[in-house]
Chains A and B, each alone.
Chain A
Amino acid sequence: MDEIAKPSGKAGATQPWSLKIYNVFKEFHVRHVAYVPDSGHSELIRRAEGDQEMRALALTSEEEGVALLSGAWLGGERGALLMQSSGVGNCVNMLSLVKLCRIPFLTLVTMRGEWGEFNPWQAPMGAAAQRALELMDVHVLRASRLDEIEETVRAGAAMAFEGGAPVAVLLSQRVIGAKKFAGQETR
């Protein structure tokens, strides 16, 4: 059996968007950062873990985050759900809660399967992510360049927390970068 390659390029201070997003979270008093990890969110997750006023919480499945953040909002606190595009489909039924109760909802989705993706299994849900969100009337914004990320997340946070809307911000794979696996070129 082939040795399984480990993802290379571990995020250090290599994700300039993470500080921008973190600052927007602070500005909007985001307390709960619920996530199913994605490497594109790893630095943001570490920032949240290091912040006394934030609670970073790992989920077993993305839909848990929709319910968790709805509960937090019932209790008066704001949160954001971090996931990759493959997790969007897992949320669809749970988004009923957000829609029926009109609960402010913000999710940041790192996109896979759309730009230099080596793993074809990421493509189907990557291609369907926006439509899956829109199926449940989640408003979708997209940041396709690094310099768009801060303003787009801020716009999404304002629509969610001030406007009361369900909002997803898609972070293009073109910005985040395609995942590289050591030795993938040999296979």
Chain B
Amino acid sequence: MPHSGKLRRREVVARLVKDRGELIAISGLGSATYDLAAAGDCERNFYLWGAMGGAAMVGLGLALAQPGTPIVVFTGDGEALMGMGGFATIALARPPNLTICVLDNGLYGETGGQPSHTAGGASLAEIARGCGIPDCRTIATMAEVEELALKVGKIGAGATVAVVSIDDEELPRVLPSRDGVYLKTRIRSALGLAPP
């Protein structure tokens, strides 16, 4: 554990996709994509490298189209802040198979470490709760990550938003494919969908 005593992002992500079975994992641009790649590339991963604010909604679309498949979205506090309205839309759609895991280090790590709004007091878990997401939690310990792991990968009663307080460590980047067409075709093939 780093000196801050906070969770390490890659340990959190690796734990949540361990024993993943049919789980589909989407990652938002920046560090979340490197974290998911670091946990091991997989045909059921879909990495975003841009389209900031979109990861949770890509996850929602997949969750609605594949209601029998659990979906997890890894994103950062910066992207979640940009896509905040999406929490209200997810609450409205009430997918039972979608978990949004926000890796919250309170800063924009890709662009020079500028403090984000969560460092200034914005609580993404409270925002998500206020939008009507049935299960919103903050996570600060590995024991809580273990509890979340029980839920990720299962079809539950509604959407979950877990805001994980993580250390602001800067880690070596692990770069998965940036080829959107390849990533699209790969995940669709994994779901048994032929190219059109």
In the bound assembly, the distance between CA atoms of A160 and B172 in angstroms comes to 40
In the bound assembly, the distance between CA atoms of A164 and B88 in angstroms comes to 30
In the bound assembly, the distance between CA atoms of A79 and B65 in angstroms comes to 10
Per-residue interface assignment for chain A, residues 76 to 119, with 1 indicating a CB less than 8 Å from any chain B CB and 0 otherwise: 11010000000000000110110011111000000000000000
Contacts A68-B58, A68-B60, A76-B66; A96 near B92 (Cβ below 8 A): no
In the bound assembly, the distance between CA atoms of A57 and B64 in angstroms comes to 11
- Whether a CB of chain A sits under 8 angstroms from the CB of B48 is yes
Per-residue interface assignment for chain B, residues 138 to 163, with 1 indicating a CB less than 8 Å from any chain A CB and 0 otherwise: 00000000000000000000000000
Min CB gap A135→B, angstroms: 15
- Whether a CB of chain B sits under 8 angstroms from the CB of A28 is no
Contacts A63-B53, A64-B86; A76 near B191 (Cβ below 8 A): yes
Contacts A57-B93, A100-B180, A102-B180; A73 near B53 (Cβ below 8 A): no
Contacts A75-B61, A76-B65; A162 near B196 (Cβ below 8 A): yes
Contacts A60-B86, A75-B62, A77-B64; A68 near B181 (Cβ below 8 A): no
Say yes or no: A60 contacts B88, CB within 8 Å: yes
Min CB gap B174→A, angstroms: 20
Per-residue interface assignment for chain B, residues 33 to 67, with 1 indicating a CB less than 8 Å from any chain A CB and 0 otherwise: 00000000000001010111111111111111110
Say yes or no: B85 contacts A100, CB within 8 Å: no
Say yes or no: A93 contacts B51, CB within 8 Å: yes
Q: How many residues of A contact B (CB 8 A)?
A: 35
- Whether a CB of chain A sits under 8 angstroms from the CB of B183 is yes
- Whether a CB of chain A sits under 8 angstroms from the CB of B193 is yes
Of the candidates B58, B93, B196, the one whose C-beta lies within 8 Å of that of A67 is B58
A residues within 8 A CB of B109?
none
A residues within 8 A CB of B46?
74
Which among A64, A72, A162 has the greatest number of chain B C-beta atoms within 10 A?
A64
- Whether a CB of chain A sits under 8 angstroms from the CB of B188 is yes
Say yes or no: A76 contacts B193, CB within 8 Å: yes
B residues within 8 A CB of A101?
180-181, 183-184
